[in-house]
Amino acid sequence: MGPVLAFWATALLIAALALPIAFVLLRRLPDRGAGMSFALGLVLAGYGYFILRVLSVLPAGRGGFVLAVAGLAVAGIATASRDRRFLATLRGSWPALLAVAGLFTLFFFAYVAFRSYVPDISGTEQPMDFMYLNAAITSEEYPPRDPWLAGERASYYYFGYLQVGLLSEVSGVEPATGYNLGLAYTFGAAAAGIASLAFALGRWAMGGRARNWAFAAAGLSLVLLLGIGSLGAVFELAQAHGHENQALFEAMGVDWLLTCEPGQVDDCRPEQVGGSWYPSRYWWWWDHTRLITDTITETPFFSFMLGDLHPHVMSIPLVLLTIGIAASTWRGRTLLDWETHRRQPWTGIALAVIFGALAFENAWDVATFSAVLAIAVVVRNLRRVAPIPALIATAGYLAPIAVVAIAAYLPWGLDFSSQAEGIYAYTGPGTRPPHALLQFGPLVAAAMVALTWGIRRGDGRLIADSLYMTAAVPFVPFTVWFLRAATQGELDAGLDARTLGGWVTLSVFGATAWLLAAAFVASAYRRRGNAPILGLLSTGALLLYGAELFYIRDIFDIAPRLNTVFKLTYQAWLLLAAAGAVAIVVALRGAVRRRQPLGWLAAVPLVLVALGMVYPIAALPSRTDGFANENTSIDGLSALARFDPAEYALTEWIRTETDPSDVVIEATGRRWSKKTNGDLELVEAGVDYGEGGRISARTGRSTPIGWYFHEIQWRGDGEDNQREFVRRQDAVDQLYTAEDPAVVLAVMRDFDARYVVVGRQEQQRYPGLLPDFETFLDIAFDMNGLRVYEMPRYRVVPTS
Amino acid sequence: MSETRKEHELVPPPMPGELEPEPAQPGPEPKPDPGLDPEPALPGPEPEPELAVDPGAAVVDAIAPADEDAPPAAAPASPPEPLFVVSVGMVAWFLAGLVFILLRVGPVLGAPVGGAELVHLSGAWQASIGVDDERYVPTLFQTVASLLLRADDSELPARAFAFLLTATVPAALWRLRPVLGDAGALIALAVLALDGPGILLGSTASAMAADIAVTLWLAVFLLRGWPAWWAPGVVAFKVATGGPLALPLLAGWAAVALWHRTPTEPRQLAAAAVGAALGIAFASARIGLGFDGLVVPPLDLFAAGFDEPWSTATVGDLALVYGIPVLLGGLAALTWELAERAGGEPLDRSRQILIAWAAFAAGWWLAAVGTGQAVPMVALSTPLALLIGPAAAHLLAAMWHADWRWARYLLPAAFAFAGLALAYVVDWARIERVGGTEDKLYVALWSLLMLAALALAGYYREARPTLAAPVFIVGAAMLVLGATGIVTSGREEPLPSPIAPAQARELRDLARETAAGGLIVIHPDFEQDMTWPFRDSGDIVVASRVPPDAAFVIWPPNEPAPEGFGTVQGQWAFRRGVEPPTTGALAYFHWLIDRNTLDIIPEPVAVYSRTGQ
C-alpha cells in the first residue's frame, strides 16, 4: 500500500503546485481549473524535465525528476505572485479543490482496486508500453534511446511515458508498479478533468441557479467517458443467457454472436460454459472494439480495462485540459492578438508548452484540439471586432504560440519519424448504421438532443443563415473526398464500394455535424452560454464524419483506415462525452423545469447510456475472472515473480545491477530448430506481441532488436530499415546458435553489448542450439539454470 | 510572584525575529552602501549590537543592544568603564562555538573513510593522477581535495580543509543574530553543533564538505543583505561549484522573492549570473580532465544521492537514529511560528525565507526518505535549527517565568516513572522479546503515572511552560548521544557506513609486498572499493578472469580459487557496513541504551597469491 499512497500523494502534490497556473489559464471555469490541474502540473513538470535533460542541465535518475517538480513549485509561486487575485481565488475555491481531490482519489483507488486483480504487464502491446516507460525513466541521455533498437533514439510520441515515469520516480515507486499506478492516475485525472469541464459547460449553459443540474451533468459526463462501452455487450449478455433472436442479431450486425451450430466454429459463439451470470468466453469484450470491419473502435472504458498504457489513453487528461483552456478562452472578453503576448508573455509560453505537448503525447491530437482552441479564439475575437480584423487578430495570437510550440518540442521532433503518408479518400464500404449505433449510439444521440434546445423558436432566420454559413461543414469535406478519390483513380470504386448503409451512416454524421455547427454559430452570435457545448458536439460529429470519408495512409495497407478511425473516433468520444452529458442534462432540465416536451427526447440517449453500461458491468468480472485472484498486487511483474522466480530474479538483476547504458542481448522472438541434416530452420518468425525484447522492456536496457514490426511502424518500412532490422535479428540469432565463440564475441562487439541473457525464452527459442557460453564468457548471474553472461573484462587501472 | 521575578519582567526579551530599535547615531548620516539590499523589510547590514553585561537577565537573553543598558546622560558619574567587558552572552557564544569546533576535530582525525567521502575521495584521487572517473564531481572542494592529494595521499589535508571551512559556521550564526534574535542564534548554533550527520558532513572530505558553511553564509547574505554589489557573483560561483545543500535555501529564497516580486539590483543580478556561469564553466572543464558536456555539480550531486549508496542507512533510518529531536523540534517550532502569527502581523520576510527553505528541504527529505544518503537529513536539519533557535529561546524565557511550585516535584517524578517504565522496555530489548502480561501492566502503570505527573504539572496555565523542561532534556540528551557516537567514530555507529576498513590498506601493503613486481589482479566487483585503499600502488589489473601472469589476486569468496594460487589466510574485506537499528522498536530501544548492539556486515574478499611466492 505504501507505493500506492506515495504515488497518489505525489499526484496530488503536483496538482497543488500547478494550481496558481491553473487559476490563470482556466480562470473562467467555475472551479478555476482545479480539475485540470493534475494534467497541467504533470505536463509542465514533465516538459521542464525533458528540456532540461536535453540541455544537460538536469542529471539522470530520480533526483532530476525531483528537481523538475521543485521547478514547478517555483513556477507556481512566481505565477501566484503575479496574480493579484490568487489568494482570493484560492479562498473561494476550497469547496472545488476538495471536491476535485476527492473525485481524483475515488477514481484513483477504484482503479487500483480493479487493477490489483489483473496487474500483469503482459499481452497486447503492454510490453511495448513498459519498454517506453522504462526508457523514459532510465535513459542516460535525452531524448531517450529506443531500448528495442540499441544505439538509436526513440522515434515515438513518448511524453505520456515520461510523465508516468516522473510520478513513479518522484514517489519512489518501481516502474512495474508505476505502470499500473500510471493507469490509475490517468483514470483519476480524466475523471477530475471531465467533471470539471462538464460542470463548467453546464453552469454556463444553464446559469448559476442550476448548480445541481450542473453537478448532474458532471456526474453523467463521468459515466459517458469512463462508464460505458459498446452496446454489443447487450447482445453478448443475451447470448450468454440463451436469449437469441436471429433476426435482431442479424439486423444489428452481430450475427457472429449467435450460438454456433453443430460443426460451426467461425463467426459464432460457443455455448456459455460454467454458471457465471456474465459472458464467460475468454476476452469476449475485445471483439466489440473490432465491430466495424478493419478498424479499431476503442472506448475509454475499454482502454482502462485492458490496461495498455498507450499514448491515446495517457493523453486523455491533457486533451481535457486543452478543451478546458479553449472553453475558458472562449469565455473571456478581451481581444486576443499579438499584443496580448506582449502583456502576458508567460501565458503564451504556457499555452505553447501545453498544446505542443499534444503532439508529443499523442500526435493525432494536436491538429484537432489546436483547432478547437483556434475556433474559441476566433469566436471570442468576433465578439469584439469585425470578421476580417478578428481573423487577423486570431492569427496574430496563435502564430507565436505555434512557433514557440514547434521550437519547444524540436528536440523531440527531430527524432520523430512520422509514418503518415498523406490524407487519402476512403473508398471502402463505410460503416454499417447498426454498427455505428452500437459503437457511438449513446454519444451521437446525446449530440442530437442538443438540437432540441440548441435551435430555439424565434431563431428561424438566424438558423437559416447559420445553415447557409456552415454548409461548408458537410459539403467541403465531401467535395474534397470526391476530388481526392478522383485523383487517386478510385472514384468509381469508392462510389460502388460504399454500401447503402455506409451512405446512411455518412449522411447521419454529416447532417448532425452540420446542424450542430449551425446551432453553434447561431448560439455564438446570440452570445449564449450554451455555444461551447454545441461547438464541441459539432466538432465531435465532424470527426466521426471525417473518419467515414478520409484516412491517413500509414503502413497498415491491409486495413488502411484502421488507425484513422481508431484515433479520430477516440477524440470524438472525449468531445461528445463532455458536451453530450451536458446536452442531455440541459434537455432534461428544459423538460422538467420549463415543460419543454422536446426535452424528454433526452430519454433516448439516457436509455442508450444505460444499455452502454452493460458492457462494463459484464466485462469487468470477465476481465478479472470473477475477481477470483487471491494474489492481488499492484506490481506489474508479480505474476512473473510468482510463477517463474528465476526469470524474475534474472530480470531484477539486470535492472538493478547493470548500468542503464549497457546493451543486453536477448532472444529476438524468432524460434529455431535443427533439422536432421544439421541445418538450422526458422520455425517461427513472428516476433511482435510476444516475449521478444522482454528483458529490455522490463529494464530499459538496450537490446539489438525488439519487436520488428513495431520498429517498422515507428521508423518506416523503407528498404534500409528492413535490411537493418533483419540484420540485427540475424546477428542475434547467430549469437545464440554459434558454434564458434568468435562469432558470439563479434556480435557482442558489433552492438557494444556487455551481457548475453540465457533465460526461459532463449532456452525455448533456441532449443539445443545454445553455445557453451561459459567457456568464453563470465557468468554474471545464475539461478536454476537461467544465466546472464558477461563479456570478460581486463583493464589496467593506474593508481598513481 | 516574587519581587525578583517582577524585575525580570520589566525588560521583556525581544521576540525572535524582532529587531531592536536602532540607536540614535550622532553626527552626520552615514553614506548608503551601494551594495546594500534595497529591500526595506530585510534587516540589512546594520551595526552589530554590542555586548554588555546584564547580570539580572536570563542567560538566553543576556545580549541586548548597548543603548538600552547605557546610563542616561544625566546620571551621576559612573566609575570608569573596564577595558574589557566579558558578558555571560559572550561566554555562551564562545563556549558554543568552541563546542561546535571541537566536536568536529574528532571525526577529522578519527572517522573512518566511508559513505559519500569514500566515493568522492576515490574520485578525487583518480582526478589527482589524471584519470577520468565518474566519481569525481568537480565541486570546488573536490577540486581542492584532488590538489591536496597530490601533495599528500592521506585524507587528512582534505578533511582539515573541510574543517576550516565549517569552522566559520559559528561566525555565520553570529551574523544571523539580528534575524534570529541573540538567544535564538545561540541555540541554533548549539543544535547545529550537535547534529550528528552535520558533524560528519562538515568534517570529512566528501564533495559536499563545504556545503554547510556555504549554505549558512548564503543564508547570512540573503537574510541580511550583500556586503557589496559583486558579492553575489562570488557566492554564486561557490554555490555553482558546491554541493546540493544550498539548493533548498535558494529555492526558498526564490519563492519568497518571486512571491513579493522583490526587485533585484541589476548589478547584483549580473554579478550572480556571471558567477554562476563561471562556476558551471569551471566545473564543466573538470580541472583539465576534459569537457564532457555541461556539469552543474549541485544538481549532479543532488541526483547522485538518490542513486548511489552513500550510506547503508536510509534517510529515514538516519532520521530515527539522529534526527528525531531536530525534526520534532523543527516541526514544533514551525507550528509555534505560524500560530504566533495567526491573525496577527504577517511573517516578516526573513522568517518567510526560513520557512520556505525548510519546506523545500522537507520536500527533498520526503522524496529521498528511502535512499541511502545523509545529505537530505543535513539539508533539513540546517533550516530547522534556525527555526528551533528562536522558538526555543522564547520557550526558555517562558519557562524561566513559569510557576514551578508543583513542577519542581512533579517533573522529577515523571522522569522517575518514565525511568521505571523504560527499565522494563530496556530489559525486553536486551532479550529481544516483549515481556509477559505482568511486565506489560507495570509498563502501562508507570507510563500512566508519568503522564499523570506531566498532566498535573501543566494543569495551571502559569505552570504549563515547565513541561518544556523534559522536552529540552530528552531532546538534548538524544542530540548529545548522536553527536558523541559520530565524534568518537564508534565502530558500530551507523554513520559513516559503509566504510573502507583499515584492513583494506593492509591488504594493499600485503599485495605490493607479495606481488613483488608481478601483476596485482582484482575482480571487477571490487573495482570501485579498491580505488581508495589501493591508491598510489602502481598499475592494478582489473579482470574478470585471472590472467596467467597474475601474482596476487583478490577475488569473490564464492568463486573457486584460481589454479596455481594459494589462499592468503585472514578475513579480508574491502568494505564493511553497519546495519541501522531500525529493524524494530525493540532493536531501536536496545541501541538507544547500548550503542554497541549493531551488526557489522563485512563484504569479504578472498585473497590468493601465486603458489611458491
Is residue A677 within 8 angstroms of chain B, CB to CB?
Answer: no
Q: Is the pLDDT of residue B67 over 70?
A: no
CA distance B562 to chain A (A): 14
Q: Is the pLDDT of residue B68 over 60?
A: no
- Between A398-412, A569-583, B64-78, the lowest mean confidence (pLDDT) is in B64-78
Q: Is B36 within the bounds of a domain?
A: no
Is residue B292 within 8 angstroms of chain A, CB to CB?
Answer: no
Phi, psi of A145 (to 5 degrees): -80, 165
- State which of B461, B487, B513 marks the end of a domain: B487
pLDDT value of residue B288: 65
Residues B448, B508 within the same domain: no
Distance CA B346, CA B33 (A): 28
Nearest to B300 among A59, A799, A800 (CB): A59
Percent of chain B that is helix, strand, coil (3-state, to 5): 60, 5, 35
Residues B522, B455 within the same domain: no
Residues B499-518: what's their mean pLDDT? Answer: 88
pLDDT-derived band at B77 (thresholds 50, 70, 90) equals low
Distance CA B603, CA B397 (A): 52
pLDDT-derived band at B508 (thresholds 50, 70, 90) equals very high
pLDDT-derived band at A265 (thresholds 50, 70, 90) equals confident
Q: Tell me how crowded residue A455 is: count the other CB atoms within 10 A of its CB.
A: 21
Grid cell of A563 as nine digits: 488507425
Q: Is the pLDDT of residue B14 over 70?
A: no
Mean pLDDT of all residues in chain B?
84
Q: Strands B539-543 and B519-522: what pairing?
A: parallel
pLDDT value of residue A138: 95
- State which of B432, B464, B487 marks the end of a domain: B487
Kindly determine whether residue B540 and residue A56, on different chains, have CB atoms separated by under 8 Å: no
Q: Is the pLDDT of residue B192 over 70?
A: yes
Q: Is B235 within the bounds of a domain?
A: yes
Kindly determine whether residue A793 and residue B296, on different chains, have CB atoms separated by under 8 Å: no
Give the type of residue at B321: V
Is residue A799 within 8 angstroms of chain B, CB to CB?
Answer: yes
Q: Is B539 within the bounds of a domain?
A: yes
Nearest to B299 among A58, A80, A790 (CB): A58
Q: Strands B550-555 and B519-522: what pairing?
A: parallel
Give contacts of A 66-95 with B, CB under 8 A: 66-67, 69-70, 73-74, 77-78, 80-82
Kindly determine whether residue A172 and residue B370, on different chains, have CB atoms separated by under 8 Å: yes
Residues B426, B377 within the same domain: no
Residues B180, B292 within the same domain: yes
Tell me the residue ranges of DSSP E strands in A90-182. none
pLDDT value of residue A679: 87
Q: Is B495 within the bounds of a domain?
A: no
Q: Is the pLDDT of residue A763 over 90?
A: yes
Residues of A in Cβ contact (< 8 Å) with B541? 794-797
A88 burial level (CB within 10 Å; 0-12, 13-18, 19+): exposed
Mean pLDDT of all residues in chain A?
94
CA distance B546 to chain A (A): 9
Phi, psi of A130 (to 5 degrees): -65, -35
> For residue B171, which of B158, B185, B181, B187 has the smallest C-alpha distance?
B185
pLDDT value of residue A264: 83
pLDDT-derived band at B17 (thresholds 50, 70, 90) equals very low
Q: Is the pLDDT of residue A263 over 70?
A: yes
* H or E, element range at B588: helix B585-593
Nearest to A66 among B367, B541, B543 (CB): B367
Give contacts of A 707-736 with B, CB under 8 A: none
| B131 → chain A, closest CA residue | A798
Residues B392, B541 within the same domain: no
Residues B392, B406 within the same domain: no
- Looking at chain B, the whole-number percentage of residues with pLDDT higher than 90 is 58
Q: How many domains does chain B contain in total?
A: 3
pTM of the full structure: 0.89
Distance CA A23, CA A90 (A): 8
Kindly determine whether residue B539 and residue A58, on different chains, have CB atoms separated by under 8 Å: no
Residues A201-209: what's their mean pLDDT? Answer: 91
Is residue A61 within 8 angstroms of chain B, CB to CB?
Answer: yes
Asked if residue A637 lies in contact with residue A256, where contact means CB atoms within 8 angstroms, the answer is: no
B100 Cα distance to chain centroid: 11
B579 burial level (CB within 10 Å; 0-12, 13-18, 19+): middle
Nearest to A795 among B363, B370, B542 (CB): B542
Phi, psi of A304 (to 5 degrees): -70, -35
Residues of B in Cβ contact (< 8 Å) with A82? 261
- State which of B397, B429, B451 marks the end of a domain: B397
Residues B346-350: what's their mean pLDDT? Answer: 85
Nearest to A62 among B261, B307, B538 (CB): B307
Residues B308, B375 within the same domain: yes
Distance CA B165, CA A508 (A): 79
Strand partners, A269: A259
Grid cell of A30 as nine digits: 467555475
Q: Find which of B152, B247, B258, B360 to mutate to test the A interface (most A CBs within 10 Å of its CB).
A: B258
Residues B422, B554 within the same domain: no
* H or E, element range at A343: helix A338-343
pLDDT-derived band at A148 (thresholds 50, 70, 90) equals very high
pLDDT value of residue B612: 60
3-state SS class at B370: coil
Residues of B in Cβ contact (< 8 Å) with A790? 544
Residues B259, B303 within the same domain: yes
CA distance A755 to chain B (A): 14
pLDDT value of residue A267: 84
Q: Is B6 within the bounds of a domain?
A: no
* B498 prior amide bond cis, ω within 30: yes
Kindly determine whether residue A792 and residue B537, on different chains, have CB atoms separated by under 8 Å: no
pLDDT-derived band at B213 (thresholds 50, 70, 90) equals very high
| B532 → chain A, closest CA residue | A799
Q: Is B523 within the bounds of a domain?
A: yes
Chains A & B: contacts with CB separation below 8 Å: 120
Is residue A656 within 8 angstroms of chain B, CB to CB?
Answer: no
> For residue A228, which of A581, A727, A678 has the smallest C-alpha distance?
A581
| A170 → chain B, closest CA residue | B367
3-state secondary structure B73-109: CCCCCCCCCCCCCCCHHHHHHHHHHHHHHHHHHHHHH
Residues B164, B281 within the same domain: yes
Q: Tell me how crowded residue B441 is: count the other CB atoms within 10 A of its CB.
A: 10
Give contacts of A 160-179 with B, CB under 8 A: 170, 172
3-state SS class at B396: helix
Q: How far is CA B301 from CA A156, A223, B372, B496, in A?
A: 31, 47, 13, 18
A99 Cα distance to chain centroid: 25
Q: Is B292 within the bounds of a domain?
A: yes
Asked if residue B198 lies in contact with residue B216, where contact means CB atoms within 8 angstroms, the answer is: no
Residues B418, B351 within the same domain: no
| B153 → chain A, closest CA residue | A800
Residues of B in Cβ contact (< 8 Å) with A77? 254-255, 258-259
Nearest to B303 among A60, A792, A795 (CB): A60
| B520 → chain A, closest CA residue | A796
CA distance B248 to chain A (A): 9
pLDDT value of residue A173: 95
Grid cell of B53 as nine digits: 553585561
Q: How far is CA A762 from CA A66, A659, A728, A765, in A?
A: 38, 22, 16, 5
Residue B490 or residue B192, greater confidence: B192
Q: Is the pLDDT of residue B31 over 60?
A: no
Q: Is the pLDDT of residue B5 over 60?
A: no
Grid cell of A633 as nine digits: 498486487
User: Could you tell me the residue range of the domain that residue B407 belongs to?
Assistant: 402-487
Q: Is B245 within the bounds of a domain?
A: yes
- Looking at chain B, the whole-number percentage of residues with pLDDT higher than 70 is 85
Grid cell of A694 as nine digits: 522482454
DSSP string, A426-493: --S----HHHHHHHHHHHHHHHHHHHHHHS-TT-HHHHHHHHHHTTHHHHHHHHHHHHHHHHHT-HHH
Q: Find which of B253, B527, B545, B552 to mutate to test the A interface (most A CBs within 10 Å of its CB).
A: B545
pLDDT value of residue A439: 94
Q: What is the four-CA torsion angle of A504, A505, A510, A512, rounded to 10 degrees?
A: 100
Kindly determine whether residue B541 and residue A797, on different chains, have CB atoms separated by under 8 Å: yes
- Between A203-212, A362-371, A651-660, B592-601, the lowest mean confidence (pLDDT) is in B592-601
Distance CA B504, CA A367 (A): 64
Nearest to A74 among B254, B367, B541 (CB): B254
Residues A572-593: what's their mean pLDDT? Answer: 95
Nearest to B251 among A74, A795, A797 (CB): A74
Q: What is the pLDDT of residues B405-416, one digit of tens each?
A: 888 999 999 999
Kindly determine whether residue B371 and residue A62, on different chains, have CB atoms separated by under 8 Å: yes
Q: Is the pLDDT of residue B516 over 60?
A: yes
Grid cell of A102 as nine digits: 476527492
Q: What is the pLDDT of residues B43-60, one digit of tens each?
A: 434 444 443 333 333 333
Cα angle A309, A305, A302; round to 5? 95
Count, in order, helices (H) and strands (E) of chain B: 25, 6
Strand partners, B565: B610
Residues B545, B467 within the same domain: no
